[in-house]
Amino acid sequence: MRPPFASPLLRDAVLVAGIAGVLAFPFVGLLLTTQGTAPTLSARFPEFAGAVVLIFFGRLGISAARRGHILFPIVLGVVMATVGAFSLLFETTGMAADSAAPWHAFVPGTFLATVASAGGVAIAVVAGRNHLLRDSVPVARKPLPMKQLLLWTGVALAGVAIVLPLLPAVDRRLIDVATLVLTYVMLGWGLNIVVGLAGLLDLGYVAFYAVGAYSYALLSVTFGWSFWVCLPLAGALAALFGILLGFPVLRLRGDYLAIVTLGFGEMIRIILLNWYDFTNGPDGISNIGRPSFFGFQFAAKPAEGTESFHTLFGIAYDPVHRLIFLYYLILALALLTNAFTLRIRRLPVGRAWEALREDEIACRSLGVNPRNTKLSAFAIGAMFAGFAGSFFATRQGFVSPESFTFIESAILVAIVVLGGMGSQIGVAVAAIILVGLPEYFRELQEYRMLAFGMGMVLIMLWRPGGLLTHREPTIRTRSQPASA
Amino acid sequence: MGHGDGRAHFYVMDYFAQQFINGISLGAIYGLIAIGYTMVYGIIGMINFAHGEIYMIGAFIALMVVVAFGIGEGGLVIVALLSALLVSMALTSLYGWVLERVAYRPLRGSQRLAALISAIGMSIALQNYVQLTQGARVKTLPPIIQGGFEFQFGDTDFIVRLSTLQIMIVLVTIALMAVFALLIARTALGRAQRACQQDQSMAALLGVNVDRTISLTFVMGAALASVAGLMVTLYYGVIDFFVGFIAGIKAFTAAVLGGIGSIPGAMLGGLLIGFTEAMWSGYFSIEYKDVATFSILVIVLIFLPTGILGTPEVEKV
């Protein structure tokens, strides 16, 4: 039976639009500018009114669709989408620029129009789906064999990743984005050891990434050492930093640890920014050595006495070779991280991490040394960040403190938590969603971070346990049933 | 310096006095923000990561009201400031309420990290919302409260300044602290808050409306943060969409330093942080003042994990 459609919906929509209107008025309805030294305030009422009307109809449509109404939300959604699409058309064809036209005052900005059309479509689709599902009897679904499914998804993802650069439809841009995503996948897997396995919330992981990047940058620029020599050194230095920073603070409890690590992350960034003699301050370090294919440069004209990659294989020079090489380099590093994690989870130290995450007091009474165990997780996590950091430095050829802000740490923690805390595939999927997708919305640059933040909140509300909630102990004793 | 050896001593004292005054006013502002962190952490045990953004929003609204009144027109200044205070408190409280309602309440009872991630997401979203709608450039306000006292100790030519604004900041902070201390100690709402802090399910069984109490905690924290926002706008005369981040971290440090969950502790922690920052900037280097703050946080947490006025937490099996 359908609930009667009447005033509660309307009242709710008015209330929501009213609150949103009050909240948005100072920021959307007014604009603060500075002319000379004097601040001035100007009004932007059309945008404000447009936003409030949009929120009203959006809320009305969403709650009607949720309550099982069909015709009304579909009509509303279609109307919203049409109005939004027409406004977009006006905007893009420049008709709106004709300010004398009578409709000028009613055409909202591009952002509102986009939200209106997308929201309208979403409401109509949800209501339509309700209509289709109306008469179907809910079928009891068989629980999916999660472990197998995850395994095959992982194998499929790895397979796609390996053949990706060889596919014909793939261009430079996609390889670039994929390399970026893989960097975050690797960092996510590294952080997963700390957060997911050992249960230590680290909000300053970017510090170790920065240590790795600067180690390689400085060693390469000062001594001219090659990437392959510096890579282990960068990892070792980052791990050393992990131990130094972790030693005093790892006995702190969850949230305190989070804020202290955040503090460390900021401290490293401030030091990089201000220690001008050593790090070149805000100008950063440029001309960092590019990676070579085991000594063979990626250059059209190699230096005297060396051979280049393309002459080695007898193929024509193509700058994309370097990109593909970088892609495979980070893929190998990421897979190494993954293999390491999967193996170490079965070793005593890995089991101790997971046990410590679940119950520290019990662990202590069973003779696990919490400090050393946590420290090992912290150091190993830091080491992988160091590897990723030196890859970042060699890929960019330039490092500056700009790249190591808190937002990077926040993105990484979000990737691990959204991935489901401890799930390796979850981390990869979350990295694709959080880092890969936004790259394709570069045109909406300004709205990107807004959408990113709201996306974090919405995904958390939708799935508080992460995308792939999977928190089973890696090892079980035989007497226990497997699906406890 | 142009002083004789005998005078250098006075110069040192004067300089110290000046940094002391600056530190107290800065600390009062941090303390007001820190109360929001400490109350929320005390009652639901989460770091409200978006609290710094709430403070930034408070500062923006306050600046808008002041500008709407037109600056520097005699007696209007008092009216403008009072309206800015009230409007900003009201709207910012509404932001705090909606924040809890939308982003935190549905996640109560989920894993701890879920709420923290949601809070970080909200912090990023609010920052970018303000950047998008108001632009990334800094907003300035010429000084509208001028005057003050000047002291000269001994026969040095170093003048210690104590501005009217600094006195105002400290007085307003003390007044608000007194009101809040009374609110927590004497009213039904305060009792409900203390009950929820100790045991939420027991409080609910005894008829305390837990949801409402938590909402009001957020509202109170946001209102205090908005006052801090107004005062920072007047004090520094410059704000932008990013001011909430670093101020938020420092205020959280203050809350931890003072003992999280304790309101006098938050104020004390705020003063200590403001003080350290002023002294560090005055005597060492202004670039590393944030490093000094974080170092204090680390040192306190290692040697005094429950903060100065906090109660030790016993972990049970």
Q: pLDDT, tens digit, for every residue of B237-291?
A: 889 898 998 888 889 889 888 888 888 899 999 999 998 888 888 888 777 888 8
Q: How far is B183 from chain A (nearest CA, A)?
A: 27
Q: Write out residues 60-99 of B within 8 Å (CB-CB) of A.
A: 60-61, 63-64, 67-68, 71, 91, 94-95, 98
Q: Note down the domain range covering A84.
A: 7-133
Three-state SS string across chain A, please? CCCCCCHHHHHHHHHHHHHHHHHHHHHHHEEEEEECCEEEEEECHHHHHHHHHHHHHHHHHHHHHHCCCCHHHHHHHHHHHHHHHHHHHHHHHCHHHCCCCHHHHHCCCHHHHHHHHHHHHHHHHHHHHHHHHCCCCCCCCCCCCHHHHHHHHHHHHHHHHHHHHHCCCCCHHHHHHHHHHHHHHHHHHHHHHHHHHCCCCCCCCHHHHHHHHHHHHHHHHHHCCCHHHHHHHHHHHHHHHHHHHHHHHCCCCHHHHHHHHHHHHHHHHHHHHHCHHHHCHHHCEECCCCCCECCEECCCCCCCCCCEHHHHCCCCCCCHHHHHHHHHHHHHHHHHHHHHHHHHCCCHHHHHHHHHHHCHHHHHHCCCCHHHHHHHHHHHHHHHHHHHHHHHHHHHCEECHHHHCHHHHHHHHHHHHHHCCCCHHHHHHHHHHHHHHHHCCHHHHHHHHHHHHHHHHHHHHHCCCCCCCCCCCCCCCCCCCCCC
Question: Do the Cβ atoms of B110 and A465 come within 8 Å?
Answer: yes
Asked if residue A338 is part of any domain, the answer here is yes
Whether the Cβ atoms of residue A418 and residue A465 lie closer than 8 Å to each other = no
Residue A434, classified by CB atoms within 10 Å of its CB into exposed (0-12), middle (13-18) or buried (19+), is buried
Residue B6 in 3-state DSSP? helix
Confidence bin at B4 (pLDDT 50/70/90): very low
| Same-domain pairing of A373 and A340 | yes
Rounded Cα distance, B164 and B250, in Å: 25
Asked if residue A61 is part of any domain, the answer here is yes
Asked if residue B312 is part of any domain, the answer here is no
Confidence bin at A323 (pLDDT 50/70/90): confident
Give the residue, A335 or A318, on which the prediction is more confident: A335
For residue B151, the cross-strand partners are B160
Of A407-421, B233-247, B294-308, the range with the lowest mean pLDDT is B294-308
Name the residue in chain A with its Cα closest to that of B109.
A464
Give the residue, B208 or A136, on which the prediction is more confident: B208
Give the residue, A403 or A309, on which the prediction is more confident: A403
Q: Is A370 on the interface with B (CB under 8 A)?
A: no
Give the residue, A482 or A458, on which the prediction is more confident: A458
Question: Do the Cβ atoms of B245 and A406 come within 8 Å?
Answer: yes
**What was the pLDDT predicted at A191?**
94
| Same-domain pairing of A55 and A196 | no
List of chain A residues whose C-beta atoms are within 8 Å of the C-beta of residue B99: none
The residues, ordered by sequence, that sit 6+ positions from B140 with a Cβ below 8 Å of its Cβ are: A34, A37, A39, B237, B238
DSSP conformational letter for B311: P
Rounded Cα distance, B162 and B155, in Å: 19
DSSP conformational letter for B106: G
Asked if residue B54 is part of any domain, the answer here is yes
Q: How far is A29 from chain B (nearest CA, A)?
A: 9
Confidence bin at A6 (pLDDT 50/70/90): low
Mean pLDDT of A303-316: 68
Q: pLDDT, tens digit, for every residue of A212-229?
A: 999 999 998 888 888 888
Asked if residue B291 is part of any domain, the answer here is yes
Whether the Cβ atoms of residue A200 and residue A259 lie closer than 8 Å to each other = no
Helix (H) or strand (E) holding B144: none
**What was the pLDDT predicted at A141?**
59
Q: Could you say which of A361, A417, A449 has the minimum Cβ distance to residue B315? A: A361
Name the residue in chain B with its Cα closest to that of A267.
B291
**What was the pLDDT predicted at B61?**
95
| Same-domain pairing of A41 and A157 | no
Dihedral (CA of A264, A270, A276, A281) sign: positive
Q: Is B291 on the interface with A (CB under 8 A)?
A: yes
List of chain B residues whose C-beta atoms are within 8 Å of the C-beta of residue A254: 112
- State the ipTM, two decimals: 0.85
Locate B157 and state its tokens.
Answer: 């030519």
Question: Do the Cβ atoms of A259 and B256 come within 8 Å?
Answer: yes
Rounded Cα distance, A427 and A415, in Å: 6
Q: Does the pLDDT value for residue A142 go beyond 70?
A: no
Mean pLDDT of B211-232: 93
Q: Could you say which of B41, B67, B123 has the minimum Cβ distance to residue A32? A: B67
| Same-domain pairing of A69 and A155 | no
Task: Find the CATH number of the domain harbouring B9.
Answer: 1.10.3470
Q: How far is CA A36 from CA A41, A129, B59, B130, in A?
A: 14, 56, 21, 22
Question: Do the Cβ atoms of B288 and A449 come within 8 Å?
Answer: no
Question: Do the Cβ atoms of B288 and A270 come within 8 Å?
Answer: yes
Residue B82's Cα: distance from chain center in Å? Answer: 19
Whether the Cβ atoms of residue A246 and residue A374 lie closer than 8 Å to each other = yes
Confidence bin at A360 (pLDDT 50/70/90): confident
Q: Does the pLDDT value for residue A448 go beyond 70?
A: yes
Q: Does the pLDDT value for residue A70 go beyond 90?
A: no
Say what angle helices A7-24 and A45-66 make with each other, to 10 degrees: 150
Question: Do the Cβ atoms of A263 and B253 come within 8 Å?
Answer: yes
Calculate ∠ Cα A91-A92-A97, nearest 5°: 50
Name the residue in chain A with its Cα closest to that of B50.
A453
What amino acid occupies position A441?
Answer: F
Question: Do the Cβ atoms of B297 and A461 come within 8 Å?
Answer: no
Asked if residue A142 is part of any domain, the answer here is no
Q: Could you say which of B113, B133, B317 has the minimum Cβ distance to residue A417? A: B113
Locate B170 and state its tokens.
Answer: 């400290």
Mean pLDDT of B215-232: 94
Select the residue from B233, B249, B294 to test the A interface by mutation, using most A Cβ atoms within 10 A: B294
Of B5-14, B66-75, B97-106, the range with the lowest mean pLDDT is B5-14
Rounded Cα distance, B233 and B285, in Å: 24
Ordered alpha helix ranges (H), chain B: 5-44, 51-69, 76-99, 112-134, 164-186, 188-198, 200-205, 210-236, 243-258, 263-283, 289-303
Size of interface A-B (CB pairs under 8 A): 174
Dihedral-angle region of residue B316 (phi above 0 means left; psi in -120 to 50 means alpha; beta otherwise): beta
Q: Single out the residue of A283, A210, A277 nearest to residue A242, CA to CA.
A: A210
Q: Does the pLDDT value for residue A109 go beyond 70?
A: no
Output the average pLDDT for chain B. Answer: 85
Question: Do the Cβ atoms of A34 and B138 come within 8 Å?
Answer: yes
Q: Note down the domain range covering B100.
A: 5-303
Rounded Cα distance, B19 and B283, in Å: 9
Dihedral-angle region of residue A422 (phi above 0 means left; psi in -120 to 50 means alpha; beta otherwise): left
| Same-domain pairing of A328 and A280 | yes
Other Cβ atoms within 10 Å of A52 Cβ, number = 19
DSSP conformational letter for B163: E
Asked if residue B309 is part of any domain, the answer here is no
Q: Is B140 on the interface with A (CB under 8 A)?
A: yes
Asked if residue A477 is part of any domain, the answer here is no
Question: Do the Cβ atoms of A39 and B139 come within 8 Å?
Answer: yes
Mean pLDDT of A37-59: 84
| Same-domain pairing of A116 and A170 | no
Mean pLDDT of A358-369: 88
DSSP conformational letter for B103: I
Helix (H) or strand (E) holding B150: strand B148-151
Backbone angles phi, psi at B311, to 5 degrees: -95, 140
Asked if residue A307 is part of any domain, the answer here is yes
What amino acid occupies position B134?
Answer: Q
Task: Domain count for chain A, please give it.
Answer: 2
List of chain B residues whose C-beta atoms are within 8 Å of the C-beta of residue A371: none
Task: Domain count for chain B, please give it.
Answer: 1
Question: Do the Cβ atoms of B124 and A248 come within 8 Å?
Answer: no
Q: Does the pLDDT value for residue A54 go beyond 90?
A: no
**What was the pLDDT predicted at A440?**
75
Asked if residue A111 is part of any domain, the answer here is yes
Name the residue in chain A with its Cα closest to that of B315.
A361
Dihedral (CA of B42, B200, B116, A251) sign: positive
**What was the pLDDT predicted at A295?**
66
Asked if residue B61 is part of any domain, the answer here is yes
The residues, ordered by sequence, that sit 6+ positions from B197 with a Cβ below 8 Å of its Cβ are: B42, B43, B261
Q: Write out residues 242-261 of A within 8 Å (CB-CB) of B.
A: 248-249, 252-256, 258-260
DSSP conformational letter for B241: T
Helix (H) or strand (E) holding B151: strand B148-151
Mean pLDDT of A125-154: 71
Q: Does the pLDDT value for residue A4 go beyond 60?
A: no
Asked if residue B316 is part of any domain, the answer here is no
Q: b/e per residue, A176-213, with b = 16+ CB within 10 A?
A: ebbbbbbbbbbbbbbbbbbbbbbbbbbbbbbbbbbbbb
DSSP B28-54: HHHHHHHHHHHHHHHHH----TTHHHH
| Same-domain pairing of A194 and A343 | yes
Q: Could you say which of A23, A274, A362 has the minimum Cβ distance to residue B98? A: A23
List of chain A residues whose C-beta atoms are within 8 Å of the C-beta of residue B142: 37-38
Which percentage of chain B shows pLDDT scores above 90? Answer: 33
Rounded Cα distance, B250 and B304, in Å: 18
The C-alpha torsion from A242 through A246 and A250 to A255, rounded to 10°, is: -80
Rounded Cα distance, A287 and B238, in Å: 37
Question: Do the Cβ atoms of B291 and A31 come within 8 Å?
Answer: no
| Same-domain pairing of A118 and A180 | no
Q: pLDDT, tens digit, for every residue of B153-212?
A: 666 667 788 888 899 899 999 999 888 888 888 999 989 988 888 888 889 999 899 999
Of A318-327, A439-448, B86-95, the range with the lowest mean pLDDT is A439-448
Residue B142 in 3-state DSSP? coil
Asked if residue B284 is part of any domain, the answer here is yes
Confidence bin at A205 (pLDDT 50/70/90): very high
Q: pLDDT, tens digit, for every residue of B23-38?
A: 999 999 999 999 989 8
For residue A42, the cross-strand partners are A31
Asked if residue A472 is part of any domain, the answer here is no
Q: How far is B111 from chain A (nearest CA, A)?
A: 7
**What was the pLDDT predicted at A471?**
54
What amino acid occupies position A338?
Answer: N
Q: How far is B275 from chain A (nearest CA, A)?
A: 19
| Same-domain pairing of A85 and A188 | no
Asked if residue B308 is part of any domain, the answer here is no
Locate A217 and state its tokens.
Answer: 């940058």
Helix (H) or strand (E) holding B206: none
| Same-domain pairing of A218 and A87 | no
- Per the listing, tokens 């027409």 go with A86
| Same-domain pairing of A111 and A237 | no
For residue A40, the cross-strand partners are A33
Taking the alpha carbons at both ends of chain B, their separation in whole angstroms is 63
Rounded Cα distance, A23 and A2, in Å: 34
Residue B255 in 3-state DSSP? helix
Mean pLDDT of A231-251: 90
Question: Do the Cβ atoms of B127 and A453 come within 8 Å?
Answer: yes
Helix (H) or strand (E) holding B137: none
Question: Do the Cβ atoms of B118 and A407 come within 8 Å?
Answer: no
Q: Does the pLDDT value for residue B86 go beyond 80?
A: yes
Q: Could you say which of B141, B252, B290 has the minimum Cβ distance to residue A266? A: B290
- For chain B, what is the radius of gyration of the CA atoms? 21
Mean pLDDT of B78-96: 92
**What was the pLDDT predicted at B99?**
95
Mean pLDDT of B104-113: 84
Q: Single out the residue of A266, A264, A287, A275 nearest to residue A216, CA to CA.
A: A287
Asked if residue A467 is part of any domain, the answer here is no
Q: Write out residues 443-462 of A within 8 Å (CB-CB) of B.
A: 446-447, 449-450, 452-457, 460-461
Q: How far is B266 from chain A (nearest CA, A)?
A: 16
Q: Does the pLDDT value for residue A3 go beyond 60?
A: no
What amino acid occupies position B88?
Answer: S
Confidence bin at A189 (pLDDT 50/70/90): very high
Q: How far is B262 from chain A (nearest CA, A)?
A: 16
**What was the pLDDT predicted at A304?**
64
| Same-domain pairing of A312 and A409 | yes
Select the residue from B301, B306, B313 to test the A interface by mutation, using most A Cβ atoms within 10 A: B301
Mean pLDDT of B140-145: 82
Whether the Cβ atoms of residue A91 and residue A109 lie closer than 8 Å to each other = yes
Question: Do the Cβ atoms of B63 and A413 come within 8 Å?
Answer: no
Rounded Cα distance, B179 and B189, in Å: 13
**What was the pLDDT predicted at A483?**
44
Q: Write out residues 142-201 of A within 8 Å (CB-CB) of B.
A: 201
Q: Does the pLDDT value for residue A235 go beyond 90?
A: yes
Q: Which of A64-73, A435-444, B50-59 has the highest mean pLDDT?
A: B50-59
